[in-house]
Structure formats: structure tokens, C-alpha cells
Amino acid sequence: MPVDSTHTHDAPVQPDALQSLLDKQRQAYAAHPFPPLAQRQQWLKSLRQLLSREREVLIDAISQDFSHRSPDETLFAELMPCLHSIDYALKHLKRWMKPSSRSVGMMFAPASAKVMYQPLGVVGIIVPWNYPLYLAIGPLVGALAAGNRVMLKLSEFTPVTGHWLKDLLGRIFPEDMVAVVLGEADVAVAFSGLAFDHLLFTGSTHVGKRVMRAASENLTPVTLELGGKSPAIVSADVPLKDAAQRIAWGKTLNAGQTCIAPDYVLVPQDRVDGFVDAYRQAVHSFYPTLIDNPDYTAIINDRQLARLERLQTDATLKGARLIPLYEQGQGRRMPHTLVLDVNDEMHVMQDEIFGPLLPVVPYSNLDQAMAYINRRPRPLALYYFGYNKAEQQRVIHTTHSGGVSINETLLHVAIDDLPFGGVGHSGMGHYHGHEGFLTFSKAKGVLCKQRLNSSPMIYPPYDRQLVRMIQKLFIR
């Protein structure tokens, strides 16, 4: 059923109304500060049922926002990981909520100690446009599992998806439980300045710095997922067909508009031509044509398309050789292009690309390739292609990145038992699975004593013989 693109009866929240919404959620949290397991499970089950029931509506809404998004890409890259993350949380939530016992030591006996995991309160989540469903629902699952109230700010660049998510989530959650906030950049600025108990932002490094500054005014802890230039390394002996096909899948999914897409590829000097041929064949096997191809996703809007075209022009003017893999695009369906003979003066090698351009950087040996990566800001993901296990370990131990996939791209983000998060310029903090539950919880240490109390043995006055004996026994 096609989605009505005029579905805009939910007016954007005005910046000055955000505080009232936050206050409403704080009051609701204060009335129920520690939701029991059964309540949290019910929230997650209701969310899962909603997503499964309304998936066609959401798929069509996202496609409208992109002018065309492959329905299968939305199923595989957004809906499926949402459902799996809910299932994973439901399976493990009882264990996550259980306080963990800790040792007190003889000095403090008789007593018990434990760590309890308490909801933080109200969590703010700022959602980007590239995966508007998964990057809203993924952190929402972690926040709800931890027992929090949640405010979601949807991107102004995905208005149809935003309005439908507001409508659908409003059917199962009251506004003081989960609230979807719509609006332009001024609303996003006001949203990031609210005194949340935790704020999660996914987006560019540039905007992430502004979000962190705004949050610092309230000492709001932040989780930042910021992307960056995620490299892929092709080893000297991996079959080029294997590497090219897997890199091409990671780069072409969502037309490269993925925070962990391979941003550039390091290839041995004597294998560059072979990689170009193998990559072209891989992309053409996925998309024999761009024209009217339902599997090929468009660039989100004219602004992003113009930005990508400027990257190509700048690279060409500075000496790069562009190899378009198709003769022409269609609308905002931009042809995938390899960029050779690049240098650090080109913007395509300075900025996160976030689109269907793939620079190819030649290298002479693996140490040189790793040094090239380590001279640059730490990326959100790193990909290595080679079957030599010793070299795999060298790459893992020598480079820094938010996550690593060996002989694969992207899929580590979908493993619910792995934390997801950046390092340095690519972000801070983690979520997904258990790490998400921990991020949105306060790990509160609790010491408990009953009637029998040994502490008076070290109370003043300190010149007593018993105090001196304890000092000699425990301070060595």
C-alpha cells in the first residue's frame, strides 16, 4: 500500500515546547523509576509486533524520502536488524537486569556488595537520515530494555519516515514514554541542549562536536557515532574476486550512504589494475543497469548529490583519474565511480565520502598501508581482506578503529553480541546488545550491612591497640 506523502498532520515540535515534553517524561519516570522485567518485555514485544505489522508502510515511507530506496535493502539493512535486536534483548534481558554480586573482602565483613543496573531516566536520541528506521529503533531498544523514557529527534531530511514513526510509535507508547520530535535544524539544536540523562547522536564528526558542546552545558553524558573514513585493505595474496565482491557490496549498499561503508581501499601497487577490473565486474553483477533498477538506491537529496559531484570535480582538477562504472545515472541514482591517482590535497581524501565514490590508494607493503591509516583520524570501521591469520592479527593489533571485519564489510554492526561504537574522531561510547543496556543504565554499587557491624573497630580514637593491630594486618 503506497504511503501518502501528505501524511503531515503531526506538526513539528517547536523548540520552546521541548522542555515541556522533557518535563512530562521526567514526571512519568519519577512515578515509575524502576520498571520490572515484565513491563520492559511488554514494551519490546509491542515494538516488535508494530514493526512487523507495519513494515510495508515503513519501507514505502523510506523509499519516498530517498526518491527511491531499494525495498530489499530496507528489509535487510533496517527492518531485519531491528527485529533481531529486539529478539536478542528479550532473550537476555532477565540476565542483564540481575544485580551482579561483588566481593567485599575480610576488612569489610560481614557485609554484601552488588552492582545494580538502574535506569538513567530520560534518554535523548538524535537520528540521522541514512538509516532512519534502524538508527532510531536500535538505540530505542537499548534504552527501553534499560527501563528509560525516550525522546527521538528524527532527521528533517526524512520527513515521510519521521511522520510515520511518530504516528506508529504513538499507537503503542504514550508521549511520556516514547516521544518522536520532528522539525528543522533549529529544533535539533534545541534538542541537543536539553538536560537529558543521556544523549546519543549519530551523524557527522562536525555536528557531533556541536552536540557534545551543547550537552556539556548540562553535564549530559553522550554516546557519539560519527563515522569517518573507514579503510579497506586488500592483501598481497587474497583472490581479487573475493575482496572486490565483498567491498563492492559494502560500498554499494544504500548507494554508499552508510557510516561504516568502505570509504577508500588500499591495494598493492601491482594489483590496482586487477582490482579495478574485479570491482567493476562485481558491481555490474549486482546492478547490470541503473536505469529503472529497483535494487539501486538513490542519493537522499539534491544537496547531497551536489556535494558528491563537487568531490568528483575537485578530485579531477587536482589530478585524479575517475572511472565511472556506468555511462549515466538516473535522477539521483548516481553512478558508482572509482577514483585513482588520489592525493591528500583532494577533498575526497579528507572528508567522509558517504556516497558511491571509491578512491583506490596503492601501497607497497602492509606496514606502509597500516602507517597510512594510523596517520589519519581513527575510523569507525576497518576492513582487511586476506586469509593469512598472522597478518590478520597484525592489522587488528596495530590499527585503531571502532570495529573490524576480516574478509567482510558492514556485517559486524548486525552482530547483537558485539558492541558498536567509535574511537576518537569516529565517536565515543558503545551500544547494541548488552553494551546498549549498560550504556543506558547506571551501574550503581551497593554495600549492605545488617545488625552485626565491624566498622567500630576502626572508629576513633586511633591510639587504641585494636586499631594498631588492624593497621599492621591490612596495611603492608
User: Which positions are catalytic?
Assistant: 225
The string over 118-144, giving b where at least 16 C-beta atoms fall within 10 Å of a residue's C-beta and e elsewhere, is: ebbbbbbbbbbbbbbbbbbbbbbbbbb
Cis peptide before 362 (omega within 30 of 0): no
Alpha-carbon gap, residue 24 to 26, rounded angstroms: 5
User: Using alpha carbons only, how large is the chain's radius of gyration in Å?
Assistant: 26
Give 454: exposed, middle or buried? Use CB within 10 Å, 0-12, 13-18, 19+. Answer: middle
Q: How many Cα atoms within 13 Å fall on the side-chain side of residue 103?
A: 3
Q: Distance between CA 136 and CA 293 in Å, rounded?
A: 28
Write down the residue that cell numbers 515546547 correspond to.
Answer: 17
Q: Is 263 helix (H, G, I), strand (E, B) or coil?
A: coil
- Amino acid at position 93, single letter: L
* DSSP-based three-state secondary structure for 39: helix
Pick the closest to residue 136 from 177, 175, 165 (CA basis).
Answer: 165
Helix (H) or strand (E) holding 150: strand 149-153
Q: Among 91, 96, 116, 115, which residue's Cα sits nearest to residue 104?
A: 115
181 φ, ψ (degrees, to nearest 5):
-105, 125
Distance CA 438, CA 427 (A): 17
Q: In this structure, what C-alpha cell is assigned to residue 240?
A: 581479487
DSSP per position, 369-420: HHHHHHTSPPPSEEEEE-S-HHHHHHHHHH---SEEEES-SSGGGG-TTS-B
Per DSSP, what are the bridge partners of residue 427?
225
- On whether the CB atoms of residues 253 and 70 are closer than 8 A, the answer is no
Q: Pairing relation of β-strands 264-268 and 112-119?
A: unpaired
The type of residue at 224 is L
Which ranges of 98-254 does DSSP label H, i.e. alpha helix? Answer: 134-145, 159-172, 185-192, 205-216, 240-252
**In a 3-state reduction of DSSP, which class is residue 268?**
strand
Instruction: Give the separation between CA 393 and CA 388, rounded to whole angstroms.
Output: 9
What lies within 8 Å, CB to CB, of 285 at 6+ separation is 245
